[in-house]
């Protein structure tokens, strides 16, 4: 399989009855000729990588992933103990505390529960601010 490779800029994203419609802007010097020749309605397997200003790939972490990493972090557990005055001796305790604090039953709720997302983002921001000058 030969992949087409080009740089593009996201221009629009809208939804219709069958799914989402993504509009990309491609510079005339970047667009592969074979893409121009393919018929409208041709199917593609797509892999997109957002690039930073320095051309490196942007790393994405979902809240679900961040919550998992946070509960495994010893510094987070110590921070919760100091801040909340509760015992958080291991990952399991951290998960229980996080669920109770965010009023959720599962990390996957962070995908759609706006209130939990807001509280989680605030919690993450506070943790980072309070621990940014701590040594590893």
User: What is the value of pTM for the model shown?
Assistant: 0.57
* pLDDT tens per residue across span 31-78: 999 999 999 999 998 888 888 889 888 877 789 999 999 999 999 999
User: What is the structure's pLDDT at 47?
Assistant: 82
How far apart CA 78 and CA 88 sit, in angstroms, is 7
83, two tokens = 């801040």
Q: What whole-number distance in Å separates Cα of residue 37 and Cα of residue 23? A: 18
Tell how many helices (H) and how many strands (E) occur in the chain. Answer: 5, 2
DSSP assignment, residue 89?
-
Asked whether residue 121 carries a pLDDT value surpassing 70, the answer given is: yes
**Under a CB-based contact definition with an 8 Å cutoff, are residues 66 and 46 in contact?**
no
Question: DSSP class of residue 2?
Answer: P
Kindly tell me if the per-residue pLDDT of 132 is higher than 70.
yes
Mean local confidence (pLDDT), 25-29: 94
pLDDT score of 136? 52
Cα 100 versus chain centre, distance: 22
């Amino acid at each position: 399989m030969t992949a087409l490779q080009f740089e593009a800029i996201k221009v629009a994203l809208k939804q219709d009855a069958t799914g989402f419609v993504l509009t990309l802007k491609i510079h005339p010097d970047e667009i592969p000729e074979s893409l121009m020749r393919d018929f409208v309605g041709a199917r593609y397997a797509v892999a997109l990588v957002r690039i930073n200003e320095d051309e490196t790939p942007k790393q994405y972490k979902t809240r679900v992933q961040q919550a998992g990493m946070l509960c495994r972090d010893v510094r987070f557990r110590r921070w919760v103990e100091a801040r909340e005055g509760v015992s958080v001796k291991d990952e399991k305790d951290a998960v229980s505390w996080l669920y109770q604090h965010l009023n959720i039953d599962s990390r996957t709720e962070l995908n759609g529960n706006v209130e939990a997302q807001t509280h989680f983002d605030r919690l993450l921001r506070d943790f980072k601010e309070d621990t940014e000058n701590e040594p590893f």
